[in-house]
Amino acid sequence: MKGRLIALAGNPNAGKSTIFNALTGSNQHVGNWPGKTVAKKEGVFQVGEFEITVVDLPGSYSLAAYSPEEIITRDFIINERPSLVVTVLDAANLERNLYLTIQVLELGAPVVIALNMSDVARERGITIDVEALSQELGAPVVRTVANQGKGIEDLKEAIAARPESSRAESSRAGSSCPASSRSVSHAFANAGSGADRSLSEPVAIENVQSLKGEKGKCCESD
């Protein structure tokens, strides 16, 4: 059995801990992050040939390190170099939630996206083109409704299928460069029937653009 370390990251309330519980069942323990009062949850599950240790990172809107939660999340991804980061997105607030995912992709970490709260999105008339989103971001996207256990097996399979790759490899490979803000905008254009106009509000897109402007180093060849 091969060991792997992965992390769950996402905005507060996106459903990370619900996914963590669904993945690990009772194989988990809770402590504190060293020197912090923030809880650290770690658990184990098996899929295929892998025994996967999963860390439930604190809810973060970005890796900008404005809060203790963001500092923990950023430092863990940079220093512990998990072989994979599962970003948990609230499908009903996709645009805002994508900000963190794009930052994680820009660090060069392999990513699998759990498009959680798919039930809430559907109730609000929001339809998301999962294929387009996956292509634009260069990462697998799995729909989940974590509190009903839906999509968890698919998520496990996507985790097992994601090849191990070093940060150096993924930042060198041009094709693995994450989506530009423009192409992400295209994915949004395909998302939603307009029931929730906040999905296409320009504000978050501008945030993504400024992010890309500041940190768009991923596409530079070295």
Q: Which positions touch Mg ion (CB under 5 A)?
A: 16-17
Please work out the total of residues on this chain that contact ligand GTP, with binding judged by CB under 6 A.
Answer: 16
**Region label for 15, one of left (φ > 0), alpha (ψ between -120 and 50) or beta (otherwise):** left
What type of residue sits at position 50? F
Which of 38, 215, 56 lies closest to 146 in space, CA to CA? 56
Angle formed by the axes of helices 16-24 and 152-161, nearest 10°: 80
Instruction: Using DSSP bridges, classify how beta strands 50-56 and 39-47 pair: parallel, antiparallel or unpaired.
Output: antiparallel
Two tokens, residue 215: 């940190």
Choose the contact partner of 120 out of ligand GTP, Mg ion, none; CB within 5 to 8 A by kind. ligand GTP
User: Where does this chain touch ligand GTP (CB under 6 A) — which range of 15-23, 101-109, 126-134, 165-173?
Assistant: 15-23
Between residues 142 and 205, which has the closer beta carbon with respect to ligand GTP?
142
146 counts as binding ligand GTP under rule CB under 6 A: yes
Near ligand GTP by CB under 6 A: residue from 6, 18, 132, 159: 18
181 counts as binding ligand GTP under rule CB under 6 A: no
What is the smallest separation between the CB atom of 214 and ligand GTP, expressed in angstroms?
25
Helix, strand and coil percent figures for the chain, each rounded to 5: 45, 20, 30
Choose the contact partner of 13 out of ligand GTP, Mg ion, none; CB within 5 to 8 A by kind. ligand GTP
Which of 121, 138, 103 lies closest to 193 in space, CA to CA? 121
Between residues 30 and 219, which has the closer beta carbon with respect to Mg ion?
30
User: Where does this chain touch ligand GTP (CB under 6 A) — which range of 10-18, 98-106, 167-175, 180-188?
Assistant: 10-18
User: How far are the Cα atoms of 1, 41, 51, 207 from residue 105, in angstroms, in the given order?
Assistant: 28, 23, 24, 16
Two tokens, residue 167: 């940060």
What is the smallest separation between the CB atom of 172 and ligand GTP, expressed in angstroms?
32
What is the smallest separation between the CB atom of 91 and ligand GTP, expressed in angstroms?
8
16 counts as binding ligand GTP under rule CB under 6 A: yes
| Chain centroid to CA 183 | 18
Near ligand GTP by CB under 6 A: residue from 12, 125, 149, 174: 12
Query: Which residues contribute to the site for ligand GTP (CB under 6 A)?
Result: 10, 12-18, 59, 116-117, 119-120, 145-147
